[in-house]
Structure 1
Amino acid sequence: MSTPVLETIGLVKRFGGLLATDHVSFTLRRGARHALIGPNGAGKTTFVNQLTGVLTPTEGQIRLEGEDITHRRPEARVRLGMSRTFQINQLFRTMTPLEMLLLVLGEREGRGLHFWSRLDARADLVREAATIAERFRLDDVIDATIATLSYGKQRQLEIAAAFAARPKVLLLDEPAAGVPEAERQDLLDTVAELPEDVSVLLIEHDMDLVFRFATRITVLVNGAVIADGEPAAIAADPAVRAAYLGEGKDA
């Protein structure tokens, strides 16, 4: 079997006496469409913050394509091929989508780019930015100020910006959160159409999106993995139903 694109081994995170991540061993296969679910307070954000370098594990190891990245800085993980979106978008609201994408592309190429730079001097990046904007259904607003975009379009742009970094692993942290129903289909289609060579871990409360997208699901409860498998098996698992849906508990 090939080396996982991303894995954790016995990952532990303690905050004083609180065990937020409880010896989590997790595998993300190359090309995966994998979802991480669990009730509020399950430890999902803490786990993802360790994957991306925002938090340092108390114990355990994180590997990206077999390389130990446990103590790598967040920017080093991006350079190695890990990109992330956030529950609350991290966009520069005074920019346009074109400028935002160019900023990411310039940073990816090690050249940097400020929004006041001459775009015609970077024709290769402009063409790539336009192609990405079209892929993510942003070509009709590419020159609009980000602050004026609908929330759904802003979420699309955040995914596009993460994709522009050419990730091997893309972590989508609740991409559907706050998106109006009228814009959800575009978001669902965008996520479904991500290239197969990008391995995706989706952290999401929206079960419609999870079961439409994921071919594998991991369930986290109280910082520990209680189930991992194909969607049908997860949906039928009594422990998952009890912990996540509240079934089987005494009144």
Structure 2
Amino acid sequence: MTVALETRNLVKRFGAFMATNDVSLSVRQGARHALIGPNGAGKTTLINLLTGALTPSSGQVLLGGEDITNLPAHVRVGRGLSRTFQINQLFGDFTPLESMMLAIGEREGHGWRAWKPLSRDREVADEAAQLLERFRLVDTMGVPTALLPYGKQRLLEIALAIATRPRVLLLDEPAAGVPEEERHEVLSIVRELPPDVTVVLIEHDMDLVFSFADRISVLAAGSLFAEGTVEEISKDRHVKAIYLGEDA
């Protein structure tokens, strides 16, 4: 098994509070790996440690076997580790096409050209159009992002992450806040993500988790509480007790 993303004895303390407690996690290449747990379990802290937004108190983060523990976030993106956020981080005045071309230009090392007529760059424009089509955003490619339905904004954020050509993509609650009538489109796109991209999904929607993941890790109180297949986790009485609120 080739390991795409790994943590070794990862610890994060905030004063006396242990937010992440000795977490050792291994995600195989090409996996659809879900990370679940109750509120306050340490999921967001763990993602921030993986992406470089936080520095661990101790332990390691490895991407494709390479130690990236001390690398800044933008360098990790360049190495193939991208993420989305619970609340989208988009430029409201940009259109989806402009946002996509900026992301592609930055990936290719000439993001500054976004302030010039990037539409003249045929290769960038073609790739942007293809990604917008894949993520069902062609009809709104010329609309300012702030005016898009929230479901479309979530799709755009995922598309921008894919534009970086990640080896590993971290999806932080991609369906959060999306109205029910738009959720099916977002969930469909999540399930159709490229198979060569390893995906780690943080999600509270268990229907999405069970339909998407091939392996699930459960966090509780900052520690790795359980891990297994969808079937194993769905039947684990201890997981039901701490996460689903059922009597063990």
TM-score higher than 0.5 here?
A: yes
Q: Which residue of 1 aligns with 2:163?
A: 164
Q: Which amino acid aligns with 2:135?
A: F
Q: Which amino acid aligns with 1:232?
A: E
Quote the sequence identity (%).
Answer: 59
3-state DSSP of counterpart to 1:5 = strand
Q: Which residue of 2 aligns with 1:27?
A: 26
| RMSD over equivalenced CA pairs, Å | 1.0
Q: Is the 8 A contact 1:102 1:113 kept in 2?
A: no
Instruction: Using structure 2 for the length normalisation, give the TM-score.
Output: 0.98
Q: Is the 8 A contact 1:226 1:239 kept in 2?
A: no
Q: Which residue of 1 aligns with 2:42?
A: 43
Q: Distance in 2 between matches of 1:115 and 1:144?
A: 17
Structure 1 runs not aligned, ≥5 long = none
Q: Distance in 2 between matches of 1:40 and 1:196?
A: 30
2:200 is aligned with 1:205: no
Q: Which residue of 2 aligns with 1:72?
A: 71
Q: Which residue of 2 aligns with 1:88?
A: 87
Q: Is the 8 A contact 1:13 1:20 kept in 2?
A: yes
Q: Distance in 2 between matches of 1:229 and 1:114?
A: 46
Alignment of 1:53-72 (within 5 A): 53-72=52-71
Q: Which residue of 1 aligns with 2:146?
A: 147
Q: Is the 8 A contact 1:9 1:23 kept in 2?
A: yes
Q: Distance in 2 between matches of 1:120 and 1:243?
A: 52
Counting matched residue pairs gives: 248
Shift of 1:247: 2.0
Shift of 1:234: 0.2
Q: Which amino acid aligns with 2:51?
A: T
Q: Distance in 1 between matches of 2:160 and 2:97?
A: 10
Q: Which residue of 2 aligns with 1:124?
A: 123
Q: Which amino acid aligns with 2:215?
A: R
Q: Is the 8 A contact 2:94 2:144 kept in 1?
A: yes
Q: Which residue of 1 aligns with 2:241?
A: 242
Instruction: Using structure 1 for the length normalisation, give the TM-score.
Output: 0.97
Kindly provide the CA deviation profile for residues 21-64 of structure 1, in whole angstroms up to 9, marking residues without a partner as x. Answer: 01000011111001000000000000000000000111110000
Q: Which residue of 2 aligns with 1:185?
A: 184
Q: Distance in 2 between matches of 1:96 and 1:133?
A: 11
Q: Distance in 1 between matches of 2:39 and 2:7?
A: 22
